[in-house]
A = this chain, B = another copy of it.
Amino acid sequence: MKMAALRWVLLVAFLVAAGHGAEASRIRHYRWEVKYEYRSPDCFRKLVITINGQSPGPPILAQQGDTVVVDLKNSLHTENVAIHWHGIRQIGTPWSDGTAGVTQCPILPGETFTYKFVVDKPGTYMYHSHYGMQRMGGLYGSIEVAVADGVQEPFSYDAVYSLLLNDWYHKSTTEISTDISTVRFEMDGMDDMGGMGGMGGMGGMGGMGGMATMGGDPQSLLIEGRGRYNCSSMDSMGGSCNMTNPECAPHFITVTPGKVYRLRIGNLASTSSLSFEIEGHDMTVVEADSNYVEPFTLKSLYTYPGETYSVLFKANQDSRRNYWISTNIALSESSTPTGVAILNYDSNPSRQAPATMPPAGPSRGDVAAGLAQSLAIKAHRDHVIRPPRRTDRLITLLITQNTINGFLRWSVNNISLVLPQTPHLIALNEKYAKRASNSTPMLPDVYFPSDYDIFRPPPHRKTSCGTSVYHLKFGSVVDVILQNANTMYPNSSELHPWHLHGHDFWVLGYGLGLFDPSKDSSKLNLVDPIMKNTLPLFPFGWAALRFVADNPGVWIFHCHIDPDLFLGMGVIFEEGVDRVGNLPKSIRGCGQSKY
């Protein structure tokens, strides 16, 4: 790295000027207030959950080894909140993971909760609400952790920008969560539902499940919290919409010809797999989920909800004009318009819109292209962390769509995740009597009925709710095979980005169809696999990952599509909970922990 990003230069300059020693620079203290405010991120005015008035919230800027402290005041009037620090492993601080029902009680209105954790690994992270579906309401932001002093990254650049990608719905989060809680499975009505035509077969993604339950596509896509809704559309819901509102002017980044830039890209969309392009500029992928990637170049980057990437690009095009930065819904048909920002060459007006059309992204149905990108991501040759050669436990998770009382749910090995009143971390650490858990169905390591065909709707529709805890032997090596399947609707399977808390895992492989141990096991990458915290499970496909259960705590592993988690798509891993020690009192107050 020849020259640090300007913001880091300024930060360091400030710290030096202020006379802080190395010790003092290690605490990054934020004071945040969460509340509802009216905002027009895509020109349509609605209530947004803000942090200190902002959505996305203030970026957290830290350096490897720093301690981040966030005093979070909940100024919502009747809603609780909890914030997850996505990608931060919370080693030694499992109570700061911010997952309501798993690692803490939710933060009540009026209360201030302090999150405190060490950012031990440089990289590109994010934060967002992990309570209900509040992330959809705008409660999210970015975390950048710079390398420690004197550490070289395996690439160099002149400056860095952060670009958070998101999708945006005009309904309130309460409306959407009510909608998706009450989707009845009606085979009779299927022919009337859109999104199915010509999408059958292996690569097809039906537009039925998540999207249909959401009441359709998102209204817009946001880059750094800014999007553009066509206010003249019929779908304006009668609210206030003003396309000249400066709040929805596109975000821009300014570049100098000849310089190289790092973009930290995070996908915090609620439902959308996204492609990302910079008009006329190639990008080189150098980081994925805060792990260094053996560089490769592409024109369009696929990103799935929960993933982060760093890409480098050189400002090497005609500098007399600006260029579009664009994001599109990827791998499925959608009516959502392209989300844009502006790449501004510094000799032009910063907000000058290019005369060109924004890039429309790759072909929507090309799942093979998405799979190829994911397969291409390997650990950087100088940063390979070799996985253990053998596993101690293999857990195969079959992801299915089912019903409970006629309402759609998602299941993992036929159990649909519900979170308990007493957060798992508290209940397990303090060995509460498990009154309810005796009646909770056991989650098996493998579940695959003999009549199951992943290419057909599930033969057995009904599922049960459960708390879905896997107890892992501390320090053991765990493999997980995620197996996708057909939804309740014929010829339909959806992409699910799975995110593991508390860990990076090795991505051992991906494939389409049913995982075949005899055939596929030998193809797993044990040589130079990338480590990630989120990976895509492709439609009708499988994914294999490995991790070491060496981080004492209780960690959720779940699909990062908000409605999918909401409807049960996740499991819980407990490891070494006895080693956690005394829990902070501040995480208590719900379920049995109020006594």
Could you tell me which A residues sit within 8 Å of B by CB distance? 35-38, 47, 77-81, 105-106, 108-111, 131-134, 172-175, 177-178, 181-182, 236-239, 419, 421, 585, 588-591, 593-595
Chain B residue with the shortest CB-CB distance to A176: B77
Chain B minimum-CB-distance residue to A79: B78
Min Cβ gap A486→B in Å is: 28
Please tell me which one of the listed residues B47, B108, B173, B174 contacts residue A80 in the complex, with CB atoms under 8 A apart.
Answer: B108
Complex A-B: 6 CB contacts under 8 Å: A79-B79, A79-B174, A174-B174, A588-B589, A589-B589, A589-B593
The residue in A80, A132, A174 that gathers the most chain B C-beta atoms within 10 A of its C-beta is A174
Inter-subunit contact B595/A585 (CB<8 Å): yes
Contacts of A593 in B (CB 8 A): 589, 594
Q: Across the interface, do B78 and A132 meet the contact criterion of CB distance under 8 Å?
A: yes
Instruction: State in angstroms the CA–CA spacing of A595 and B590 once bound together.
Output: 11
Question: Which of B131, B421, B590, B594 meets A78, CB within 8 Å?
Answer: B131
Q: Is the CB–CB distance between A77 and B36 below 8 Å?
A: no
Residues in B with CB closer than 8 Å to A239 are: 237-238
Is the pair A111, B421 in contact by a Cβ cutoff of 8 Å? yes
Most chain B CB within a 10 A radius of its CB, from A78, A177, A239, A421: A78
When the two chains form the complex, which single residue of B37, B108, B178, B419 contacts A590, counting CB atoms closer than 8 Å?
A: B108
Pick the most buried of A237, A589, A593: most chain B CB atoms within 10 A of its CB. A589
- Contact call B47/A111, Cβ cutoff below 8 A: no
List 9 A-B pairs, minimum CB-CB distance, nearest first.
A238-B238, A589-B594, A78-B132, A589-B589, A237-B238, A77-B132, A78-B79, A77-B177, A36-B178
Question: Which of A81, A106, A178, A182 is packed against the most chain B CB atoms within 10 Å?
Answer: A178
Q: Which of A77, A178, A589 has the most CB of B within 10 A?
A: A77
Within the complex, the shortest CB–CB distance from A52 to chain B, in Å, comes to 15
With a cutoff of 8 Å between Cβ atoms, the chain B residues found around residue A134 in the complex are 78
Q: Find A178's partner among B47, B236, B421, B591 (CB 8 Å cutoff).
A: B47
A175 contacts which of B47, B78, B182, B590 (Cβ < 8 Å)?
B47
CB distance from A43 to the nearest CB of B (A): 15
Q: With A238-B236, A588-B594, A594-B589 in contact, is A178–B38 under 8 Å at CB? A: yes
> Could you tell me the distance between the alpha carbons of A47 and B177 in the complex, rounded to whole angstroms?
11
Q: Which residues of chain B come closer than 8 Å to A594, judged between CB atoms?
A: 105, 585, 588-589, 593-594
Query: Which residue of the partner chain, among B105, B108, B237, contacts A106 with CB atoms under 8 Å?
Result: B108
Residues of B near A132 (CB, < 8 A) are 77-78, 109
Residues of B within 8 A of A35 (CB): 178
Are B111 and A174 in contact, with the CB atoms below 8 A? no
Please give me the residue from chain B that is nearest to A110 by CB atom. B421
CA gap between A175 and B585 in the complex, in Å: 33
Task: Give the complex CA separation of A391 and B97 in angstroms.
Answer: 57
